[in-house]
Structure 1
Amino acid sequence: MSDFVPNWFWDFASHIPHFNLSNNQLRGDLSNVLLKSHLIDLSSNHFKGQLPHLSPDVEALFLSKNSFFGSLSPLLCENLDDQNSLMYLDLSENHLSGKIPPCWMHWQGLKLVNLGSNNLSGNIPSSMGSLSGLRSLRLRNNSISGHLPSSLQNCKYLRIIDLGENMLSGHIPSWIGKRLKNLIFLRLQSNKFSGSIPQQICNLSSLHVLNLAHNSLSEAIPLCLDKIAAMVTEDSAFRKLSFSYPHGYYLESMLLVTKGIEWEYNNILGLIKGIDLSSNNLCGGIPHEVSSLSGLRFLNLSGNYLNGIMPENIDGLKWLESLDLSKNHLSGAIPQTMSSLTFLSYLNLSYNNFSGSIPRSTQLQSFREESFAGNPELCGDPLLKKCTGHGDSQVPPSGEDTGKGEDEDDGAMLSGFYISMLPGFVVGFWGVCGALFFKKSWRYSYFQFWDNIKDQIYVAVALKLIWLRKKVKKNRVGE
């Protein structure tokens, strides 16, 4: 629908408990409008003006992806005499500006707060710590500065913290690992955090994604990452990443860099598990404990000062799809065990000090030369630099007694049988696999095909689970 919404419509809509006009091209100025319905979803339209006023009866307000501007105060800090019912607030991707107001103590029923992708500035007010039932806090892509307020440790039910792309500074507080035990996603990417990664992070047994990339963190990677139980198992988190309300369903989404590209995950977000510590000042080696995180889908440690060798037991990351260790000071040989990472579809080991030959496998030879560039002592396919080696086979001298005795004729017949099999096997095997070894474009197409099939299966399964969950809930309501 594409039209201007007249003011009389909002008086009419106040008698409708739940209305959803999202994903249209509706426009209008809501600055002086009072919204009264229990559920209001106007997201993904062209509404503008300052934020509307709310009745205490409103439980869910979704105004994301519009053109609202001005301060948050008219919505949150006026007419606070009555007890408010608001539980879900999404104002992301608008043009809101100014500081985040300090009046959150009047909205203690909130479970979801998403103010991402606006022009908000100033500090995170300590009054946000009064939201004791908060499950999701999303403030990404603003200009928020200062330290994380210690009052946030009172929000012990938090599952998602996304404060990326801001100007927050100071140390990452240890109370995150001590008090916020329900965290599933911690995203602090692209801020100004410094100091070390606190050991208490390892206490977050439910953590699926740890993203601390593009900060100024230093010292070594904690050795206790294998204590994060959720990263060791293959369990999903679909049930904990959605909010259900009458006639509605809110599914969380998150921006993550995987396979070298930034993706927005929503429907399959519950399947994603990963660690991104890239572009910091981390030093020391890669802890071998990382190889115990068998549930990881992506691992990015690029752009640091890591040294030493790659963990020999890296094949423990059996579900790994994306691995980036580029732009470090890692050395030694690439472990032969990497050939066991059969799900790996993105690899970047460039600009280190790796040496020796690249392990032979159809998987590793399928990657582009750029994945191994900047390692002068590295050789073997897919690099142009070939490895030199000597390994002459030995044969027994002619006339030497082979010990066959009277079974010599039978042995000769068997030898003839095997010799006749050999050409057929060679032709059949190299007709298929040889083409993949030597035809680079075919290799890329072959593995890209299976990678796409795998992603399609993930999405299909995830959507089916969501459909089944909705159907079961609908049947229960019907009963």
Structure 2
Amino acid sequence: MRAVTISLFGFLLVIAATIISFCDRNSNVLCINSERQALLKFKQHLIDRSNRLSSWVEGEDCCEWFGVFWNNFTGHVKELHLGLHSSSPDIELDDERDAYFRSKLGGKINPSLIELKHLSFLDLSNNDFGGLAIPEFIGSMKSLTYLNLSSAKFSRAIPHNLGNLLKLHYLDLGHNSFFEAKTLQWVSGLSSLQYLDLSDANLTKATDWLQATNKLPSLVELHLSDCSLNNNDSSSISVNYTSLAVLDLSSNMLSSIPTWIFSLRSLVSIDLNSNAVEGAIPNGFQNIWLSNLNQLQFLGLGDVGLKGNFSSAIGNLSSLTHLDVSRNGIDQEVSEIIESLSRCSLDRLELLNIASNKLSGHLPDQLGQFKNLAYLFLSRNSISGPIPFSIGKLPSLKLLDVSYNQLNATLPKSLGQLRNLEHLDISNNMLEGNLSEMHFSNLTRLRLFWASNNMITFKPNPSWIPPFHCESIELRNWHIGPQFPQWLQFQKNLSRLDISHAEISGVIPTWFWSLSTQFEYLNLSHNHLVGGISYLPKSRTVDLRSNLLGGIESLNLRNNNLFGEVPSILQHLANLLILDLSENQLTGSIPAWIGDKLLGLVVLNLRSNKFQAYIPDQICALNSLQFLDLGYNNISGAIPKCFSNLSAMATKPINGILDRLVLEVDPSNWFYLGALLVMRGREDEYSTTLGLVTGIDLSGNSLTGEIPRELGNLKELRSLYLSGNLLTGQIPENIGNLEVLESLDLSMNRLHGEIPSSFSNLNFLNHFNVSYNNLTGKIPSGTQLQSFDNFLTLAIFFADLQSLKIAAAIAKHLN
């Protein structure tokens, strides 16, 4: 974990600047017209999708313009606040996330800003300028004291003329995509600078970064995270950061902890996380840090390769509030670190992260004495023994992660007293025993509960209502069954649930499927669940393996952005009646095993994917298939002649499978069985009438060859769509045998010849399209085509340049 450094100066500066810069509507001073016009020019070149600047209108009260602050005495523009508050919002709802990103300004930055001669504050942070360079003219805006262009998707080189802004107190260019900088010498003249952030800038060749920033006498905060810095040749440099309080050199390539840091007595925060430091704890920790850095509040040394004993290095850090030494090789008893901290920062510590080390031993009772501790990370060590009862005495605790250790015994009931706990991870330990409702009695704020792979039994009273509303619950390998956990029905916010290997039996209750419309992850595998499943929520991952589920009858994964080939695991769903994988990004060929394994299929819908190759002959073995939709893929080859074997489309069903389901099902325990199908040229939903629907849709592919005359054997076919292919030859004469056909679309192929006379038998046809072919001749007399109420609508289906003779025949009937 990378903790956030403390930004004292930036916060105070923004507050102070804002207080003196509001426009007073009662003031007699008017806005300067030239500056108002400059702002309107600036707006014209911006992309403002959310209309944040809708108040910037000529003639409107300029005091009401969003983000603009004017001087009450002179009327000059003093400040532009056009940044967003967060560069990485933790927004859970899709519409809120979309609204945030829509609110980002884009486009170009008009040089008209240079006309704002008195502008002291410019914030364009967290917008999206699409890789543009920082405009050179900003280096001429010499009244600026505050400039924030962070996380705004600027790129290319940092303009060195920003070094001309001698009044700057605050400069943040961090988290953009700047090209490699060869020097930071341009910074050294900014003698008033108190805050500097160049994080994510490539400073590999800027070997003068330390000398340049060391010349800033007023510097309070320095953020150079992820800048590819190393400390070559820096050991001999005399450092004099007399005012520096916050230093962030995290995610760089420092091979050792710079010794000059030890002399900076004013430091409040040091972040050296994720560097390339290796070796034992340096002697400086014991001898120098303890005496000089007694004001230190934040210490980040995560993932720097530290080894050995660490407790002696922190013994006198009495001001410490945040300590991160995770992902190292610290090898000692965990109790020694806890006891060292309790002697020096007992009343101050808020975050302790010592995860992913080589800690051993038991957690001491002193843990319950850290009254302000909010975040405790102890995962991935070798800590054993019980979780101490004193854990319940941490009133501020929001996160507890002790996963991947060797903790045993039972969970203390005092855990239920942690009223502020939001994230609890006790997974992958050896915890055992019975849990009761008391373990959760006051956990009203719990959102994430991860406890998989322990030996815990939890069988609360069936009427128990949990005090929490979790988003994620993982209880894999718990003893929960045999009843399905009734308390889950009160978890309306679930996006992740794992209750696999939990000894659960019986039928999945109907209320379960209404818990969430979109599970991100759902795992009910390796239980003893029985019954049928006719509905699955829209989910990224659903695992139902190794149960006794029978009649998994309808599987609808339509429009889920699935990609890759069809998972072979689906072939085990032997009782499947409806398989809908339409409107995804599936590739490869249509699996032959569909015809070998899913013999009960009634509806197969693979429409609007990216399937290639040919239609496998095995499909013809699906004797119950009533509707086949392979439209709008990249399928080639010929239409299989064996389609004549699709007997459910050839003979009138007598109490077909779907009819029997509708008649025999118990309405109180029935999952909805239905399908979205294209019939009569439009997409509709079929449920109770699904047993009456028969159709084939192969349109929008690259099928070649002739239309097989064998299709004429499918006498119960009600719709046939073959449009948008490369079919040649004539329309088969025996198409007229499809006497119940309602929709026929053969358009946009390479068919020639006349419409067969047998079409006079198609008495139910109400949708007919043969346009964009090479057809000739007349419409057969006595056909349903000649009895349409609106011949003009029908004529549209024929009226193309290559079907003039047929169009003429239609026109004759119109007369």
TM range, normalised to the smaller chain? 0.5 to 0.7
- CA shift, 1:210, in A, is 0.7
CA distance in 1 between partners of 2:694 and 2:652 (Å): 9
Who is 1:283 aligned against?
Answer: 704
User: Match for residue 40 of structure 1?
Assistant: none
Whole-Å Cα distance in 2 between the matches of residues 266 and 251 of structure 1?
A: 8
Partner of 1:314: 735
- How do residues 78-477 of structure 1 correspond to structure 2 at under 5 angstroms? 80-86=502-508, 91=513, 95-96=517-518, 98=520, 101=522, 103-106=524-527, 108-115=529-536, 118=538, 120-121=539-540, 127=545, 133-235=551-653, 236-242=656-662, 244-245=665-666, 247-365=668-786, 366=788, 367=791, 368-374=794-800, 376-380=802-806, 438=814
Q: Kindly indicate whether the alpha-carbon contact (under 8 Å) linking 1:87 and 1:109 is maintained by their aligned counterparts in 2.
A: no
Specify whether residues 176 and 380 from structure 1 end up closer, same or farther in structure 2 by C-alpha distance, changes over 3 A only.
closer
Query: Hey, what's the Cα distance between the residues in 2 that align with 1:153 and 1:207?
Result: 16
Q: Equivalent residue for 2:80?
A: none
Partners of 1:375 and 1:385 in 2: CA distance: 15
Amino acid corresponding to residue 359 of structure 1 in structure 2 = P
How far does residue 148 in structure 1 lie from its aligned partner after superposition?
1.8
Residues 323 and 52 (structure 1 numbering): CA distance in 2 closer, same or farther, change over 3 Å? farther
1:290 aligned counterpart, secondary structure: helix
DSSP 3-state at the match of 2:777: strand
Paired amino acid for 1:376: Q
What whole-Å deviation, never above 9, does each CA across 1:314-357 have from its counterpart, x for those lacking one? 11101101111111111111111112100111111111111122
Q: What displacement does 1:299 show?
A: 0.7
* SS state at 1:96 partner: coil
**Alpha-carbon distance in 2 for matches of 1:281, 1:130:** 42
* Structure 1 residue 384 displacement after superposition: 6.2
One-letter code aligned to 2:798? F
The equivalent of 2:196 in structure 1 is none
CA distance in 2 between counterparts of 1:218 and 1:128 reads 37
Where does the alignment leave 5 or more consecutive residues of structure 2 unmatched?
1-446, 449-459, 464-468, 475-479
**Residues 180-214 of structure 1, C-alpha deviation per residue, up to 9 Å, x if partnerless?**
11111111111121111100000111111111111
Determine the C-alpha separation between the residues in 2 that align with 1:78 and 1:313: 55
The CA distance in 1 between the partners of 2:754 and 2:586, in whole Å, is 39
The answer on whether the counterparts of 2:776 and 2:806 sit within 8 Å (CA) in structure 1 is no
Q: CA deviation at 1:95?
A: 4.9
> In structure 2, how many angstroms separate the alpha carbons of the residues matched to 1:346 and 1:35?
60
Kept in 2: contact 1:220–1:284 (CA 8 A): yes
Q: How many Å separate the matches in 2 of 1:35 and 1:198?
A: 54
For 1:211, the aligned partner's letter is D
Alpha-carbon separation, structure 2, partners of 1:307 and 1:56: 62
Match of 2:249 in 1: none
In structure 2, distance between residues paired with 1:305 and 1:35:
65
TM-aligned CA distance change 1:36 to 1:310, over 3 Å: farther
SS in 2 for 1:219: strand
Greater CA radius of gyration, 1 or 2? 2
Could you tell me whether the CA contact under 8 Å between 2:505 and 2:529 is conserved in 1? Answer: no
Which structure dedicates a bigger proportion of its chain to helix? 1
Shift of 1:167: 1.7
| Cα separation, 2, equivalents of 1:354 and 1:272 | 30
CA distance in 1, matches of 2:673, 2:510: 12
Q: CA deviation at 1:215?
A: 1.3
For residues 230 and 59 of structure 1, do their structure 2 counterparts lie closer, same or farther at Cα, with a shift above 3 Å needed?
farther
1:42-84 alpha-carbon deviations (Å, 9 max, x no partner): xxxxxx9859999864599xx9xxx97663x31x536823335
Q: What residue in structure 2 maps to residue 400 of structure 1?
A: none
Q: Quick one: which amino acid aligns to residue 586 of structure 2? A: L
Matches of 1:288 and 1:234, distance apart in 2: 20
The code of the aligned residue for 1:239 comes to D
Read off the aligned partner of 2:726 and give its amino acid letter: Y
1:92–1:329 Cα change, 3 Å: farther
Partner of 2:111: none
Assess, with a 3 A threshold, how the Cα gap between structure 1 residues 128 and 145 changes in structure 2: closer, same or farther.
Answer: farther
1:267-311 C-alpha deviation (Å, 9 max, x unpaired): 211100111111111111110000110011111111111111101
SS at match of 2:665: strand
Instruction: State the 1:150 CA deviation.
Output: 2.0
TM-fit CA distance, 1:177:
0.7
Question: For structure 1, which segment, 152-161 or 81-90, has the greater mean C-alpha deviation from structure 2 after superposition?
Answer: 81-90
Query: Does the CA contact (< 8 Å) of 2:565 and 2:587 recur in 1?
Result: yes
Equivalent residues of 1:89, 1:110 under 8 A apart: no
TM superposition shift of 1:102: 5.6
Judging by fraction of residues, say which structure has more strand. Answer: 1
Question: Do 1:231 and 1:295's aligned partners in 2 also have CA atoms closer than 8 Å?
Answer: yes
**Matched residue of 1:247: which SS?**
helix
1:218 CA displacement: 0.9
- Give distance in 1, aligned partners of 2:485 and 2:784: 51
Tell whether the 8 Å contact from 2:504 to 2:529 is kept in structure 1 after alignment.
no
Task: Say if 1:299 and 1:206 are closer, same or farther in 2 by CA, change over 3 A.
Answer: same
- Alpha-carbon distance in structure 2 between the residues aligned to 1:133 and 1:249: 12
Matched residues, number: 340
Q: Residue 104 of structure 1: CA displacement? A: 3.4
1:227 & 1:142 partners in 2: Cα distance?
A: 32
On the 8 A contact 2:503/2:527 being kept in 1, the answer is no
Judged with a 3 Å threshold, the aligned counterparts in structure 2 of structure 1 residues 107 and 150 are, in CA distance, closer, same or farther, namely: farther
- Pairwise CA RMSD: 3.8
Distance 1:79 1:154, change over 3 A: closer
Contact preservation (8 Å) 2:697, 2:722 = yes
DSSP 3-state at the match of 1:318: coil
After TM superposition, give the deviation of residue 248 of structure 1 in Å.
4.1
| Cα distance in 2 for residues equivalent to 1:35 and 1:218 | 60
2:615 maps to a residue whose letter is I
Letter paired with 1:147: E
Query: Which deviates more from structure 2 when the two are superposed, residues 355-364 or residues 194-203?
Result: 355-364
Query: For residues 134 and 94 of structure 1, what CA distance do their matches in structure 2 show?
Result: 20
Q: Which amino acid aligns with 1:274?
A: G
**d(CA) in 2 for partners of 1:106 and 1:272?**
37
Shift of the 142–165 alpha-carbon distance from structure 1 to 2, 3 Å rule, reads: same
Larger mean CA deviation between 176-185 and 285-294 belongs to 176-185
